[in-house]
């Protein structure tokens, strides 16, 4: 298969996804979710999908927003480092992993009461959109700059 930049080939689809991304950002803000948590979810979804481009972008974004290198270093194994992440963060990361992996049967390991219904919906949409962005970047072979 040849390498095609999906964003350029069908720019109207890219624009529609960007609009959806904006709607999800608004839902995350309305749900009261911390911007650092949002970046951690984007990073974790990108780790699972193996999207180097998105990992680089969102790691830089997280650092710029004040995230620590210690937490970024262990987010790939967040369940092994519970002192680094709050109950809400662990629930959000578990939910994002569930949406990304689509485990069958449904695990619902995130459902410990830490997240409101509004937060579950917002994070579910975030993981869905992030999965889409990862697939576009990987398929398009976006370059990863140092």
66: left (phi over 0), alpha (psi -120 to 50) or beta: left
Nearest CA-CA partner of 44 in 120, 114, 123: 123
**In residues, how long is the chain?**
146
| End-to-end Cα separation, the chain, in angstroms | 27
Helix (H, G, I), strand (E, B) or coil at 69: helix
pTM of the model: 0.84
pLDDT digits (tens, 9 = 90+) for 54-98: 999 999 999 999 999 999 999 999 999 999 999 999 999 998 998
pLDDT digits (tens, 9 = 90+) for 41-61: 999 999 999 999 999 999 999
Retrieve residue 58's tokens: 């969102």
Residues 6+ apart with CB under 8 A from 41: 92, 93, 96, 123, 126, 127, 130
């Amino acid at each position: 298969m040849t390498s095609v930049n999906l964003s350029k080939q069908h720019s109207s689809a890219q624009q529609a996804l960007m609009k959806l991304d904006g709607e999800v950002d608004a839902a995350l803000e309305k749900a009261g979710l911390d911007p650092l948590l949002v970046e951690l979810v984007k990073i974790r979804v990108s780790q699972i999908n193996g999207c180097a481009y998105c990992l680089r972008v969102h790691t830089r974004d997280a650092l710029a927003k004040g995230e620590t290198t210690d937490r970024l270093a262990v987010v790939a194994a967040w369940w092994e480092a519970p002192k680094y992440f709050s109950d809400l963060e662990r629930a959000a990361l578990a939910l994002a992993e569930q949406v990304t992996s689509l485990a069958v049967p449904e695990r619902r390991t995130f459902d410990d009461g830490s997240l409101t219904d509004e937060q579950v919906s917002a994070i579910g949409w975030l993981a869905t959109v992030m999965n889409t962005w990862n697939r576009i970047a990987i398929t398009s072979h976006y370059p990863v700059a140092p």
